[in-house]
Each structure stands twice: as C-alpha cells, then as structure tokens.
Structure 1
Amino acid sequence: MHLDHEEDDYNLSLSRFESMLKTNKVFFFDSEEFEEIILHYLDTGRTSLAKKALKLGLEQHPKSTGLKLVQVELLIYEDKLEVAEKMLNELYALEPHNEEIYIQKANIYSKRDNHEKAVALLEEALKYTEDYADVYNLIGMEYLFMDNLELAKANFIKCLDEDLEDQSALYNVIYCFEFLDQYDEAIAFLKKYIDRNPYSEIAWHQKGRLYYSIKAYESAVRAFEYATYIDETFLGAFMEKGKALERLERYEEAIESYQRTIELEDPTSYALLRIGKCFEKIGNTTEALTYYNQTVHEDPLLDKGWIAITDYYVRLKNFRKALYFVNKALAIDDQNQAYWKRFATINKALQMHEEAEYGYRKAIECGNFELDTWLFWADSLLLLGEIESAFIALEQAQEHYPKSYEISYRLAGLHFQNQEDEKGFSNLKNGLSLSFKNHKILKELFPTCWNNSSIQDYIKNFKK
C-alpha cells in the first residue's frame, strides 16, 4: 500500500508539472519532487523537458544540493565535464560527506577513461552511502571497463548481497562467469542465489542457459520450466526450453514450447522456423512446409528460412521446386553466399552446368571460400571445357588450401592434359604425398591421363 501511495504521488507530480507547462501557471514543488521529475525526463530521453524542470526547480530552491547534483548529472550527460567538475568541487566544500558527490566525480573520471580513479572515488562513497548495492554495482561496471572480470564479478556479487532483486547485477555476474569460462562455478553460484531467492525467474532462466552451454539439456529443461512456472509469460524461457528439448529429440514437446511463444506475442520467424524443423524431424512434412512458408512470409530477410525451404525440396530431390525458392531468395538478397551455393548445387543436380558454374563463382565472390565450393567450381569449368579458367580457380583455391590433395590431383590432371608433364608430375607427387589412397581422383576426372603408362609407373614406384 505504501509503495502504491508513493507511485500515485509521483504520477501526480508529473501531471501537475506538465499541466503547469501547458497553462503557464506556476505551481510549487518541493526539491525532491523536482529531482524525480528531472530524472524521469532524463531516463526517457526528453532532455529539453529535464532542463526546463531543472531551471524551474533551481528558481524555487536555489540552495538545494540535490537539484545541483542533478544539474551536474545533466552536465556530465552532455559531456560538459569541466563545468560539472567545478560545481562538484564547490558542493564538496559544503558537503564533504555527501556520497553523491563522489559518485558523480567517479562518473567524470570514468568518462575520461580513468577507471582506476573512478573506483577509488566510489570506494570513498561507500563510507558515506546507505545504498551500498548501487555503489558496488558502479564499481563492478568500472572493473568491466578495465576488463578485470574477476573484480567486476566480486563487486556485482557484493551488490546482490545487499540487494537480492538487482537484476542488472545478476545478469552482469553471469556475464563475468561466462566470459571467464566458469560455467560450473556460475551454476553453483545460482544454486545458492536461488536458495535465497527461489522465485527469481531470471535466476532460473540463467541457470537453464548455463546448463544448455555445457550440454546438460535435461537440467536446462527443468530450469527453464521453473522460470515459466514463476512467470507464465516469460517468452525467452519458453524459447530456450524449446531449443533444449530439440537437443533431446523431444520434438513434440519442443513444438509446444515454441507455440507458447507465438501465443504470448506475435510470431517470430525464429519460432516458426524451429517449429517447421521439429515437424520435419517427426516426419510431418506437410506441417513442416506450412511453417517454412510462414517463416519466409514473416521475415523475407531471414536467410535461414529460405535455406530451410530450399533444403527441404532438395532432400525430396524436387530440384525444380528447390530452384524456384532459391531464385526467390536471390531476388531479395543477391549477395548471400549460402543462396548462391545452393543455386549452384541444384543446377549441378539438374545437369545445368553453365548455371552451376555461375553459382559457384558468385558464391566465392560473395565470400564462400569452403574447399568444396572451389572444387565444384573448378569441376564445372572442366565440364564446360574452360581449361584456363579451371587452372585459375584451382590456383586461387590452393592459396587457401595449400595441403589439399583434391586440388593437387586436379592440377596434375590439367597439366598432363596440357602436356606440361613436369608440372603435372610435381602436382601428382604432392597429391600422393598428401593422400595416396585418394589418387583415383585422377582416374575419375582425367581418364585419358590415368591410362598413360608413365603416370601409372610413377604411381607404382611412389607406392614402393
């Protein structure tokens, strides 16, 4: 009841202030009301209204330290650090034990990237503050800026010792544990935290995330379930639970969890895609296709949706349909390497070699440097009789994969075909050294060269 009364007073102050601005009447507010009004406008990004409230506040309460400190905060926000520092020195002379002065001074040093000095000032503030949690949180942030994750973590934990409900500190503690790869320690910390605060859905959710990270999927599911028991509208927990259930191959339950997120909020393309994947896993291809189509309709820019629907038809060997969808995807984003590779693979399956060559070339131009992309491109060029281009493609590929026997055997065959025997044997030797058992690549791609007696003798002698 007491909190509700304070909230009503706060809303009344805001309403009265905004009414005053509209009517040009002057109402009286005490200094604390002005502070709350100013901070409200700063928090909501309405700086001009914050300045108006500050001006009126100082006119009514010219000696208010609280309002002057809010003025300092506004000056720091606007990067007017020298003016702010001068004001703080004046206030310090009047109130040397005011913790807010130390906090704002620390803020200035932090903005100047002098985080050690900021920490020293915040530790001084601890001597005078009643809000230890806030100061420990600020110290933790300074250590984060210094990349000292251990000390940051220690101070965020101190913050939680003072204020168990501080969610930002809880998130930051877990961030530190994760950054330091201390997953077991993080889980142990959360177990103790939950013992003290068992109805923290955030803690249960974070515990689930950590279990998921170490592949303890059963434990992750249980943790996410507790988070959803506490908050039945916790969309993130339902989403993460679905992911963990997928890992356990409990696809029907995963579908239920993802569908719950759609009931709570407008459907996300991610949830629709995962539901489609789950339906495909249990063999319900009709529903899978329905959800894949919904995915690309919901978010045409989500490449995973187009890839899912294209791959679906590839698996069915319905290459014409797959080509239709990958072309639709390329019409939206023609710089997507994954689309181009699929375009090439599908055309290769349809024995449309010119289109396949073009697709592999575009995939590489867009940054796909996977070995098989280079090899398929070179093979497409060979099929089209573009020998010089195949040479160039394979030489470029060899720069990325100098120890690839696949490239060496292909280069050997090309050189033999061009009657460049010295280069051919050099590449053949390299291929045999890297992987003798795969020398039949030469037979598959260059049967004429393979039948050459000198090449056969070289391979036999190499084996001996």
Structure 2
Amino acid sequence: MQLSHNDENKFSLSRFESMLKTNDVLFFDSAEFEDIINYYLENGKFALAKKAVKLGLAQHPTSTNLKLFKIEILVFEDKLDIAESMLSELQQLESSNEEVYIQKAQILSKRDLHAKAIQVLKMALDITLDPAEIYSLIGMEYLFLEDFENAKFSFMKCLEADEEDYSALYNVMYCFDFLDQKKEAIAYLNMYLDKNPYCEVAWHQVGKQYFDLKNYEKALSAFDFAIISDEYFIGAYLEKGKVLEKLGRYHEAIENYRLTLELDDPTSFTYLRIGKCFEKLGLNELALKHYKDCVHEDPLLDKGWIAITDFYIKKKNFQKALYYINKAINIDEDNVLYWKRYAKINNRLKFFEEAEKGYKKSLDLGNYELETWIRRCDILIDLGEFDTAIKNLNQAVEFYPNTAEIEFRLAGLYFSENEGEKAYFHLNRGLKLDAEYYIVIEELFPNVFNRKSVKQIINSFINLS
C-alpha cells in the first residue's frame, strides 16, 4: 500500500522523534527534513526545529533549503550578523531563490530598516511564483513605517493574487479603519463581494463598517448575508446581536447571542450582552443571573463586575453594590474602574474615610479626571483634613491649571488655615476665571463666605442680592 503525503509526513516525524529518544542515527532525505522542520516551526516547537536543522545539515550539508531554515532560525533568535553572513554566501549560489530575498528582508526589518526591506521584497516579486506572500510581507513593512496607504495597496495586491487570503483582507480593513475611510472600505468590500459573493468574512466586515456609521439596518442585512454564507459563523451572530440591541429588538438579540452558546463554548461577553438585554426588558432576575454567569466564566472581566455593581446602584441597594465591588477588587486590585465605583458607593453610604481611600487609589492608578480630584477634596474637607485637601488640589492644578472649581476650593481651604495671602490670591483668580462658581465657597465654607471682606470681593465681580 502506498502512503499519502500526509501519512508520509507522520511516518517521518515518528521516525525522527524515535531517533531522538534512542540516539540512533537514521537517514532522512532532505525533503523529509524540510517537512519535519516546517511542521515544528508551524507548531511552535522551536527546539525540535533547531535539532532537525542541525541533523539535516549534517546529512545534507549542501541543501539550500535546509540552510535557509537555519538562517530563518538565526533571524528569529536575533543572531543577525551570523544569518547575514550565511545569506551572503547563499545568494551568490542562489540569486534566483525568492526565499533568499525574504530572509534578507527579514534581517533588514529586524534592524528597523523597513524601507530597505521593502526594496528587497520588490526584487523578490520579479522572480516569485507566489506574489501573494511577497505583497503581504511588503504590506507588513509599510505598517511598520505607519504608511497605511501603501500598506493598504500592498494587501489589496495580495488579495488580487489570492482572493482567499483572509488575513490580507483583515489587514486591508485595518488600514481603512486607521485612515477613517469607512465609505471607501464599503466600496472596496462590495467590489470584492462581486467576485466572491459568499465570502462570510467580507460580509461581516461590511456589517461592521455600517455599524460604525450607525446605519444599523444595512449592518443587519450584511450580517444576515454573512450567516447565509456560513451558518456557523459565530462572529456574525454576535455582531447581529449588537445591532439588534441598538435597534431595541432585545428579544431577537438574545436569540442571536444564545445561538453562539450552542455553536461554541460560552463566553463571558455573550453572557454580559444577554444580561444587558434582559435588564433593558426589565427582567431583572434574568439579567442578574447572566451577569453572574459572566463573572463566573471570566472573573477578570471588569465589565461583568461593573454590570453587577451598577445593577445594584440603580436599585439603590448600595450595600450589595459594595459587596460585589469588594469582590471585584479582591480579584484585581489595580483596576481603576473598580476603585472609582468603590469610592462613589462608600460616599453614598457616608463611609467617608473609605470613599477617600477609593478616590486616592483611583488617582494613584492614573485616573486624573477632574471629578476625582474634586470629590476627594470635598471628602477631605468633610473629614477636616485641610492640609491633605490642599496638597490634593495643588496636584490637580498641574492637570487643570485654569479651573475655577479648584481655585475657589483652595481659597476656602487657605482661609480655613488662616493663610490670608494665599486665600485672597486664589479667590481673585477663581472670580476672574468664572465668578459664578463663588457658590463653592458658600456651600463648602459658609463661615468663610460670611466674612465681610470675602463678600466685598465677590460683589466686585457679581451682584449679590
């Protein structure tokens, strides 16, 4: 019985791995070594690929393809000088071998010489039998240069040579998206679909473009065509569900999301979206159940914990909201979205010290929104920690240098600390920026507001009744 090529590969692999275990030396022809090395590289078994290259060159020292595999591995390991030296020798013997140019371009690319890499790859185009691969590599080099127009053109040429290269199609769309050319992207996809009317990937991409343009009816039609082209295309069902949500057709959205659960393993994202739909329908128990399924499926998905927390905040059940945000923080204590909610919930519960801790942690994690600085300051004022409040606002000024809300608070704090010169400076500055915000002093520092000198200064900017 004659073996198929696939069976031969499996047999060669089996023999090779058996040889490694027993230390016996078996003979393989160079083509067998090439298949073995290619298999290991494609499956990420790098150490075994290196062994196969070494043994292959020991048995076939003149094999060009095995040398090229060695060069590819050297490039991967960043041993660029050695790889370049080997490649120079090989190029003298194999000047018409496209792989020589590809590896030379890879070396140039690794050295951030992307324009030169493109020149070399264009030379390879003159001799290649597979222009799709070369155009794809050229496109990637243009992406490194952030030249998205030329990258887009290269990936389009790749698709002309191989219409089923969906990675190239995704790259074309990436370029269109980066260039914010949504209408042009739709025109290109329609042209592509004229030749490939049952390409589910292209229909899916058309749908996403229309979704971004808020043309939900056309997006829905595109996702329907994607599903007609491939009834097992999970991405199309998910995107269709999102469109139906936007159209307020929540029951239909749930049906589409549930179909994905039947087609593949459940995902936290699907449970989250189903929960959102049930919440919009007022079916709170079902919404909560799916939010809990979401965080059970992926405890690190912040949107799941936030959905549960916000659910209870809307119900004004702040104790339960606090319970769930604490669970979230225990899982990921560096998530700023958790700490922001932790602070707001504690503030509503009048746990001011905990609320201040939450706002401080939010700031420490890089959440420099004005609201965070202001809310922390107001809590520190309530706690009587004026020095810390002043330090907090002086940091805020670095990010928001001309903000009346900050200036009036600083004025009130400095008056409270009997630092009149600084207080009057910030009061005047606040009034010049926006006099209407004098109300900050009236609400937060009533004793300061009732001072005759303070009222006189404010009256000079605004008439008080």
Q: 1:356 to 1:93 in 2, by over 3 A?
A: closer
Mean Cα displacement is larger for which, 21-30 or 186-195?
Answer: 21-30
Instruction: Say which SS state the counterpart of residue 164 (structure 1) adopts.
Output: coil
Q: Deviations over 1:189-228 (max 9, x none)?
A: 1111111112222212222222233333333232223222
In 2, Cα distance between equivalents of 1:219 and 1:357: 48
| Match status 1:208 vs 2:207 | yes
**CA apart distance, 1:279:** 1.4
**CA apart distance, 1:280:** 1.2
In 1, Cα distance between equivalents of 2:93 and 2:380: 82
Q: Deviations over 1:98-129 (max 9, x none)?
A: 33333333333333333333323322222222
2:5 alignment counterpart: 9
In the superposition, the TM-score normalised over structure 1's length comes to 0.88
1:445 alignment counterpart: 444
1:183 alignment counterpart: 182
- State how 1:190-339 maps to structure 2 within 5 Å: 190-339=189-338
2:101 alignment counterpart: 102
Q: Deviations over 1:356-382 (max 9, x none)?
A: 333333333333322222222222222
| Match status 1:425 vs 2:424 | yes
In 2, Cα distance between equivalents of 1:436 and 1:454: 16
Instruction: Say which SS state the counterpart of residue 435 (structure 1) adopts.
Output: helix
Q: 1:444 to 1:34 in 2, by over 3 A?
A: same
Instruction: Say which SS state the counterpart of residue 197 (structure 2) adopts.
Output: coil
| Match status 1:22 vs 2:21 | no
Q: 1:91 to 1:7 in 2, by over 3 A?
A: farther
In 2, Cα distance between equivalents of 1:257 and 1:7: 45
**CA apart distance, 1:158:** 1.2
2:356 alignment counterpart: 357
| Match status 1:146 vs 2:142 | no
Instruction: Say which SS state the counterpart of residue 119 (structure 2) adopts.
Output: helix
2:342 alignment counterpart: 343
In 1, Cα distance between equivalents of 2:260 and 2:114: 42
**CA apart distance, 1:139:** 2.1
2:366 alignment counterpart: 367
Instruction: Say which SS state the counterpart of residue 463 (structure 1) adopts.
Output: coil
| Match status 1:133 vs 2:129 | no
**CA apart distance, 1:271:** 1.9
Q: Which amino acid aligns with 2:390?
A: F
Instruction: Say which SS state the counterpart of residue 121 (structure 2) adopts.
Output: helix
Question: Contact between 1:20 and 1:26, CA under 8 Å: does it hold in 2?
Answer: no
In 2, Cα distance between equivalents of 1:193 and 1:422: 71
In 2, Cα distance between equivalents of 1:256 and 1:268: 15
Give structure 1 stretches of 5+ with no counterpart.
1-5
Q: 1:71 to 1:325 in 2, by over 3 A?
A: closer
**CA apart distance, 1:95:** 4.2
In 2, Cα distance between equivalents of 1:21 and 1:301: 40
Mean Cα displacement is larger for which, 388-397 or 24-33?
Answer: 24-33
**CA apart distance, 1:406:** 1.8
Q: Which amino acid aligns with 1:412?
A: A
In 2, Cα distance between equivalents of 1:7 and 1:242: 48
**CA apart distance, 1:287:** 1.0
1:435 alignment counterpart: 434
Question: Contact between 1:413 and 1:424, CA under 8 Å: does it hold in 2?
Answer: yes
Instruction: Say which SS state the counterpart of residue 233 (structure 1) adopts.
Output: coil
In 2, Cα distance between equivalents of 1:178 and 1:319: 41
Mean Cα displacement is larger for which, 278-287 or 138-147?
Answer: 138-147
In 2, Cα distance between equivalents of 1:227 and 1:30: 46
**CA apart distance, 1:161:** 0.9
Instruction: Say which SS state the counterpart of residue 461 (structure 2) adopts.
Output: helix
In 1, Cα distance between equivalents of 2:364 and 2:82: 54
In 2, Cα distance between equivalents of 1:432 and 1:266: 60
In the superposition, the TM-score normalised over structure 2's length comes to 0.88
- State how 1:452-463 maps to structure 2 within 5 Å: 452-463=451-462
Instruction: Say which SS state the counterpart of residue 439 (structure 1) adopts.
Output: helix
Mean Cα displacement is larger for which, 115-124 or 279-288?
Answer: 115-124
In 2, Cα distance between equivalents of 1:459 and 1:13: 88
Question: Contact between 2:386 and 2:417, CA under 8 Å: does it hold in 1?
Answer: no
In 2, Cα distance between equivalents of 1:257 and 1:214: 22
Question: Contact between 2:278 and 2:286, CA under 8 Å: does it hold in 1?
Answer: yes
Give structure 2 stretches of 5+ with no counterpart.
none
Question: Contact between 1:17 and 1:27, CA under 8 Å: does it hold in 2?
Answer: no
Q: Deviations over 1:421-452 (max 9, x none)?
A: 44433323223333233322322222233333
- State how 1:398-417 maps to structure 2 within 5 Å: 398-417=397-416
Question: Contact between 2:12 and 2:32, CA under 8 Å: does it hold in 1?
Answer: no
Q: Which amino acid aligns with 1:12?
A: E
In 2, Cα distance between equivalents of 1:368 and 1:80: 42
Question: Contact between 2:340 and 2:359, CA under 8 Å: does it hold in 1?
Answer: yes
Q: Which amino acid aligns with 2:41?
A: L
Q: Deviations over 1:150-191 (max 9, x none)?
A: 222222111111111112211221222222222222221111
Mean Cα displacement is larger for which, 218-227 or 163-172?
Answer: 218-227
Mean Cα displacement is larger for which, 366-375 or 82-91?
Answer: 82-91
Q: 1:389 to 1:35 in 2, by over 3 A?
A: closer
Mean Cα displacement is larger for which, 23-32 or 414-423?
Answer: 23-32
Q: 1:432 to 1:188 in 2, by over 3 A?
A: same
Question: Contact between 2:101 and 2:121, CA under 8 Å: does it hold in 1?
Answer: yes
Q: 1:221 to 1:456 in 2, by over 3 A?
A: same
1:35 alignment counterpart: 34
